Structure 1
Amino acid sequence: MQGVVSSWRTGCVLGVAVVLTAVATGGVRAEPAVEPVYSFFVAGHLYGKARSRSRGLYPPFMQTWEQKKADLGADFGIFTGDLVSHGTESQWNHVRHDIARLGVRVHIAPGNHDMLDRVLYERQFGHSYSYFRHAKDLFILLDTEIDNGLITGLQMQFLETALERYAGSAEHIYIFMHRVLWAMGDPDKRRIAVNHLPKQAASNFWTDVEPLLQGYDRPVYVFAGDLGAEATRDHYFLDQDGKLTLAATGMGSGRDDNFLHVSVFADQRVVINKINLLSATD
């Protein structure tokens, strides 16, 4: 039939992928790609360059988000720690100003720099570990600085309770933390070059946390944010093993700085994309 396209091809209109399909009239109809139910971003080590004295969030992150937010979109953001370098009230004032500029609600899993003054942090942002639910999913933010990398005591009770109450009705479970806790105690993962590894640092991720998460028949995604401060450190990690996905991100060295953008679809697919900062070199 003359004028009918018998094969499919892809195109791009204003950054949105489309599929062109044949129609009976011989014309072509553009079908937009399936939109996610929701999306969010994950960003770590947001004060940027190691040993710098920060004034607000890392400028390349702010610039990249400003230029790409319309195309990426996000219902909210998660900061996985180290928003400030020295934890002063002045630095936090700059950070709060930058957060307001993002245009989306932000949740925080604090890092070691953020907790240089725990009282000041909690006065501004509330309790250092928390959970929330969005759509059909459960989001849990942990504080890896309470017990030097261990999830114990009241925080472990909190994690157990949140999972017991809400994991059964969730399609996905997301856990956020600053330290890359799975990099300790597992021969296959410990080779990750993280930003900061305190003396006597320990982790009960593989002995206590991971078995707890695996007890629920749900896909689990664990995100950390202590990478990328220097060129000698890793900047990105993504690994999937069965229903457990481990991801880490960071910025500051100026080389391969990045954050993650996560899209969740109605068919329960979760797509994690690494977004390089505009000033970063590969």
Structure 2
Amino acid sequence: MFVKLKYILLSIFSTLICYFTSAETIVSPFNGKSINTDSLATSSYSFVCWGHWYGSPLNWHSALPSATVLSNIDSINAIQPTFIMAMGDLYRHTDSSTFYHFKSLVLKKFTSPIFNAVGNHEMDDRSFYESQFGKTIYSFRINGEIYIVLDGEIANCDLEGEQLSFFINKLDSALNDNSIKNVFIISHKLIWSTLDGVTEIFKNIHSNYECYNYSTFIESIYPKLLNLSDKKPVYWISGDYGFSLFYHKIKDHDLTFLACSITDSDEDAYLKFSISNDDKVYIQANSFTGKKLLPLESYNIDYWKLHLTNMNIISKAQLMVYNKYFWCGITISLLLILSGITLMRLRNK
């Protein structure tokens, strides 16, 4: 009874704050920390981001984020980012035990406000997630920047209906609003992976690439982004499993696509965005493991074409083998077969 009451109260609280308490304060529904935008009005600020917090898909029973994330909480706190943008798959499974440990052992440890672009693993139980953290599609402003956060799970990697209308309206508004100097789009899914050159690479990295096989981005969204980026910089950052780091800037346009995800390897890293008080954006990739990284721009299409053959791609078959339910099914099937054989032999005696 107490647990149910606690969840009801948390749901009411999340709904009331709805990420924002006023025009000047943005509150994180994850750890209760806030951003006072008035105090940043003439200041530079920064944020950090990475996706796929739980790490390798082979961590089937993981109840906490990857070790590379857990061991770097203090280092993230030390740089004091204005906020942390998680890009989905915060945890492997949605259940009360995982949620309790994630909240008490992870979320509360970060000293900066945390926001999230949901991944498929949080959406194992959408109603539970929304009762704890509120809406999954939203936007907010800090100084000359607008942040648009999308939910790629509603339409299985595509954007449609109300969300597509919301997104297009935000892009149109940003185009006509001279006070907006930079546009940031955040998603877990690499909705933009249908770009020329990216498709060839990503479909060989991601075990569920067919989920990305939609035309909406190229037909309805990409032209809007090109038009907008002729007037102001646009950055689309995603965090689904596949690219530890990825950078792709569209030629002759101020439009940049980036990806950053945790893979439980020495490649694990995060992106730091620093925005100056004159709205200039500086991006830096920082290692979670101490490994020396190349300049961020080096992790482009050519880099991944070259390194693709050396990657250890996790296939659906591997994921299945590591899934306990697969072995339960095999065991039950074998028992049924053996039982059938035994019954047939008994009948033939």
Match of 2:146 in 1: 138
Which protein is bigger by CA-based radius of gyration?
A: 2
The letter for the 2-side match of 1:207 is E
Match of 2:171 in 1: 163
Shift of 1:87: 1.7
Q: In the alignment, is the contact (CA less than 8 A) between 2:191 and 2:212 conserved in 1?
A: no
Are 1:209 and 2:209 matched, yes or no?
no
The 1:183/1:163 distance shift into structure 2, 3 A limit, reads closer
Shift of 1:200: 5.0
Shift of 1:73: 2.7
> Mean alpha-carbon deviation: is it higher for 193-202 or for 162-171?
193-202
Shift of 1:114: 1.2
Match of 2:247 among 215, 238, 250: 238
The 1:225/1:200 distance shift into structure 2, 3 A limit, reads closer
| Structure 1 residue runs without a partner (length 5+) | 1-35, 228-232
Shift of 1:46: 0.3
Q: In the alignment, is the contact (CA less than 8 A) between 2:267 and 2:289 conserved in 1?
A: no
SS in 2 for 1:91: helix
Are 1:174 and 2:187 matched, yes or no?
no
Equivalent runs, 1:79-98 vs 2, <5 Å: 79-97=86-104, 98=106
* Structure (1 or 2) with the greater helix fraction: 2
Distance 1:63 1:175 in 2: 28
Q: In the alignment, is the contact (CA less than 8 A) between 1:50 and 1:253 conserved in 2?
A: no
> Mean alpha-carbon deviation: is it higher for 103-112 or for 201-210?
201-210
Q: In the alignment, is the contact (CA less than 8 A) between 2:66 and 2:264 conserved in 1?
A: no
Shift of 1:153: 0.3
Distance 1:200 1:105 in 2: 31
Match of 2:77 in 1: 69
Match of 2:137 among 129, 141, 150: 129
Q: TM-score, normalised by structure 2?
A: 0.64
Match of 2:235 in 1: 221
The letter for the 2-side match of 1:176 is I
Q: In the alignment, is the contact (CA less than 8 A) between 2:77 and 2:111 conserved in 1?
A: no
Q: In the alignment, is the contact (CA less than 8 A) between 2:53 and 2:66 conserved in 1?
A: yes
Distance 1:68 1:81 in 2: 18
The 1:106/1:195 distance shift into structure 2, 3 A limit, reads farther
Distance 1:272 1:133 in 2: 19
Q: In the alignment, is the contact (CA less than 8 A) between 1:263 and 1:272 conserved in 2?
A: yes
Shift of 1:280: 6.2
Are 1:278 and 2:286 matched, yes or no?
no
Distance 1:196 1:106 in 2: 28
Q: In the alignment, is the contact (CA less than 8 A) between 2:193 and 2:212 conserved in 1?
A: no
Distance 1:196 1:179 in 2: 13
Equivalent runs, 1:231-270 vs 2, <5 Å: 233-241=242-250, 242-270=253-281
| Structure 2 residue runs without a partner (length 5+) | 1-42, 294-349
What is the count of residue pairs matched by the alignment?
A: 241
Match of 2:49 in 1: 42
The 1:269/1:135 distance shift into structure 2, 3 A limit, reads same
Match of 2:24 in 1: none
SS in 2 for 1:215: helix
Are 1:149 and 2:161 matched, yes or no?
no
Match of 1:29 in 2: none
Shift of 1:279: 6.7
The 1:133/1:200 distance shift into structure 2, 3 A limit, reads closer
* Structure (1 or 2) with the greater strand fraction: 1
The 1:87/1:276 distance shift into structure 2, 3 A limit, reads same
Distance 2:173 2:281 in 1: 23
Shift of 1:68: 4.7
Q: TM-score, normalised by structure 1?
A: 0.78
Match of 2:58 in 1: 51
Equivalent runs, 1:112-123 vs 2, <5 Å: 112-123=120-131
Q: In the alignment, is the contact (CA less than 8 A) between 1:254 and 1:279 conserved in 2?
A: no
The 1:92/1:125 distance shift into structure 2, 3 A limit, reads same
The letter for the 1-side match of 2:239 is G
Shift of 1:150: 1.1
The letter for the 1-side match of 2:98 is Q
Distance 1:40 1:139 in 2: 11
The 1:73/1:66 distance shift into structure 2, 3 A limit, reads same
